[in-house]
Homo-oligomer: A and B are copies of this chain.
Amino acid sequence: MQIKKAYTQAVSRKYPEAVVIAIAKDGKGRYNPITLGWTMITSHKPPMMAIAVGLARHSRAVIEEAGEFVLAFPSSTMADAALFYGTNSGRDMDKMQEFPVATQPATEVDSVLLADAVANFECKLESQLVTGDHVLFVGRIVASHVNTDETVKRLYTLAPGYKMGGVVAAKVDG
């Protein structure tokens, strides 16, 4: 049975939520990563994915100016890097210098792939839409990459407070 609750309480039931890391080149030539839980696929043909970035975030301007980005699906072992990239601002630091992870060059956009991620998608910024306090960036995928290790699994936010880790299928009764 459903009972009415404040939005903030109701939405706390959403977890686990898969996260992505968006990486775009900033005006200083640095590859700036930001970890985001608000993301979705938005088109099959052509393939597109969207992310929501806070209007006041440094990454908002970086992605808008770059016009292209990589969307990495971090693996479940990348929780510490994902947490760092999601809770610090590239306005204040070179995030990938402060918390280095293995990268490879992207092939179609000026950005980097995360070598240990489950998969990476190179995106050209296709459109954007302001929704409340975030902007939706829609990226058209121009190249796709996967980890040669097929056993790696995605990283999720498991609970409020940035508790992150992997998930496995649960036995369902009912």
Q: Which residues of A contact B (CB under 8 A)?
A: 1-7, 9-11, 13-18, 37-48, 50, 52, 73, 76-77, 79, 104, 107, 113-115, 117-121, 126-127, 129, 131-134, 136, 138, 140-141, 143-149, 153-154, 158, 165-174
Contact = CB atoms under 8 A, between A and B. Distances in A.
B14 A154 contact: yes
Nearest to A132: B43
A96 B114 CA distance: 44
18 contacts: A1-B149, A2-B147, A4-B145, A5-B145, A6-B144, A10-B145, A42-B52, A43-B134, A44-B134, A47-B132, A76-B174, A77-B172, A127-B129, A127-B131, A129-B129, A132-B140, A165-B169, A167-B170
Nearest to A78: B174
Given A14-B73, A129-B127, A145-B10, A120 B167 contact: no
Contacts of A73: 13-14
A42 B154 CA distance: 21
B76 A170 contact: yes
B169 A158 contact: yes
A9 B47 CA distance: 12
Contact of A107 (B4, B16, B119, B153): B4
Contact of A118 (B13, B107, B131, B167): B13
